[in-house]
Amino acid sequence: MKKLPLSQVTDFDLRLLRVFRTVAEVGSFTAAESVLGITRSAISLHMSDLEKRLGVRLCQRGRAGFALTDEGREVLRAGEAVLAAIEGFRTEVNQLHQSLRGELNIGLMNNLVTQPKMRITDALKGIRRQSEGVRINISMSTPGEIEKGLLDGRLHIGALPMLTTLSTLDYSPLYEERSQLYCSRNHRLFPSAKKVSVANLREVAAVAPSYRISAHAMQLHQALNCAATATDREGIAFLILTGEYIGFLPDHFAATWVEKGMLIPLVAKEMNFVVTLGVATRKGRRKNLIVDRFLDILLQSSAS
């Protein structure tokens, strides 16, 4: 592909970058059809136009599936920065008119929707009722990716555990989340779950999280025979429900399975830990009326 310098960035280029960003997020042209509201052939044409404009191959597509090239990943990173800057400009101009119009990009760790105190849900409802001109974009991710998104400007707000806080982010506590050690009804410990001791736990396989956890949680996992790992709480639940592993889950997330008799806590008095979940924004960020209004609603809900 002939490489030529990009002389200027047009509105058409920005439109193509938005299409490319969506395709990269969902992982295929087919999945992007419903999100973008255009046909797969139109998406393919837009991608080809962008590749010609930039003079680089952005992705591999075909029977082997969709995958970004190295150049594609660089263009995606640079494109997200451009689109974030444009959105920031639009937000600042709208604030001159005190208008709630623009995007609100929120990063959430998974399995917060089962929290009994629906603070994030209530704040989302509140901002929507104040203005239909706010486009809310939610991305589910790991705490590390949320922090990265806040620092590079892709995210306005993140909800994540307050374990090792960064000096470059501002935090406010939202929830206290308690986790217990569970086994499923198909596990050999289930019939005698109420009589199990900490010593018995070493005799069975356990699943450990591969994400960052508190020192107390790490200490509890060290007392187990961890034979598997998972990148998130849903992955841990999958393994526990096989009946082959025990593992820690937040009480609110496990509650439905407990009520159905599918899960039961083990050694509840000793094998539990509490983590504070908070909301974070970038320190020294530009004033943003949408973000400020959302935070006001969210933190008022937390205080009540």
Q: What is residue 11's predicted lDDT score, i.e. its pLDDT? A: 85
Pick 36 or 239 by higher pLDDT: 239
CATH assignment at residue 58? 1.10.10.10
Q: What is residue 286's predicted lDDT score, i.e. its pLDDT? A: 82
The verdict on 246 and 294 lying in the same domain is no
Q: What is residue 262's predicted lDDT score, i.e. its pLDDT? A: 97
- Percentage of the residues of the chain whose pLDDT score is greater than 90: 57
d(CA 172, CA 295): 10
Q: Give yes or no for residue 2 having a pLDDT over 80.
A: no
| Residue 4 within any structural domain of the chain | no
User: For residue 187, which amino acid is it?
Assistant: H
d(CA 220, CA 148): 28
pTM over 0.85: no
The verdict on 164 and 153 lying in the same domain is yes
What total number of domains does the chain contain? 3
Return the sign of the alpha-carbon dihedral for residues 94, 95, 99, 104. Answer: positive
Q: What is residue 95's predicted lDDT score, i.e. its pLDDT? A: 63
Number of H helices, E strands in the chain: 11, 11
Q: What is residue 94's predicted lDDT score, i.e. its pLDDT? A: 67
pLDDT band at 248, cuts 50/70/90? Answer: very high
Q: Give yes or no for residue 172 having a pLDDT over 60.
A: yes
* pLDDT one-digit tens code per residue, 88-125: 777 777 665 566 788 999 999 888 888 888 889 999 99
Of the three residues 52, 81, 110, the one that is the final residue of a domain is 81
| Residue 2 within any structural domain of the chain | no
Q: What is residue 302's predicted lDDT score, i.e. its pLDDT? A: 61
Q: Give yes or no for residue 245 having a pLDDT over 90.
A: yes
Burial group, residue 155, by CB count within 10 angstroms (0-12, 13-18, 19+): buried
Question: Which whole number is the average pLDDT over 12-31?
Answer: 89
CATH assignment at residue 108? 3.40.190.10
| Residue 91 within any structural domain of the chain | no
Expressed as residue numbers, the domain containing 294 is 98-173+277-303
For 225, which DSSP code? E
| Residue 87 within any structural domain of the chain | no
Q: Give yes or no for residue 28 having a pLDDT over 90.
A: no
Question: Which whole number is the average pLDDT over 33-50?
Answer: 90
Closest by Cα among 266, 256, 115 to 198: 266
The verdict on 258 and 298 lying in the same domain is no
User: For residue 263, which amino acid is it?
Assistant: L
The verdict on 147 and 191 lying in the same domain is no
The verdict on 291 and 142 lying in the same domain is yes
Computed over every residue of the chain, the mean pLDDT equals 89
| Residue 57 within any structural domain of the chain | yes
**How many CB atoms are located within 10 Å of the residue 105 CB?**
21
Q: Backbone phi, then psi, for 57, in 5-degree steps?
A: -85, 120
The verdict on 109 and 157 lying in the same domain is yes
Q: What is residue 83's predicted lDDT score, i.e. its pLDDT? A: 87
User: For residue 184, which amino acid is it?
Assistant: S
The verdict on 157 and 112 lying in the same domain is yes
The alpha carbon torsion through 199, 200, 205, 211 (nearest 10 deg) reads -40
Question: Which whole number is the average pLDDT over 82-86?
Answer: 86
Q: Give yes or no for residue 68 having a pLDDT over 60.
A: yes
Q: Give yes or no for residue 304 having a pLDDT over 70.
A: no
Q: What is residue 267's predicted lDDT score, i.e. its pLDDT? A: 95
In the block, tokens 């889950």 appear at 249
CA distances to 1, 76, 208, 251 from 16, rounded to whole Å, are 18, 11, 42, 44
The verdict on 47 and 111 lying in the same domain is no
Q: What is residue 5's predicted lDDT score, i.e. its pLDDT? A: 61
| Residue 137 within any structural domain of the chain | yes
Which SS3 state, helix, strand or coil, does residue 271 take? coil
Structure tokens that stand for 240 in this block:
């526990």
Q: Give yes or no for residue 3 having a pLDDT over 60.
A: no
* pLDDT one-digit tens code per residue, 183-232: 999 999 999 999 999 999 999 999 999 988 999 999 999 999 999 999 88
Q: Give yes or no for residue 65 having a pLDDT over 80.
A: no
| Residue 6 within any structural domain of the chain | no
For 285, which DSSP code? P
The verdict on 169 and 132 lying in the same domain is yes
| Residue 225 within any structural domain of the chain | yes
The verdict on 169 and 247 lying in the same domain is no
The verdict on 161 and 206 lying in the same domain is no
The verdict on 151 and 221 lying in the same domain is no
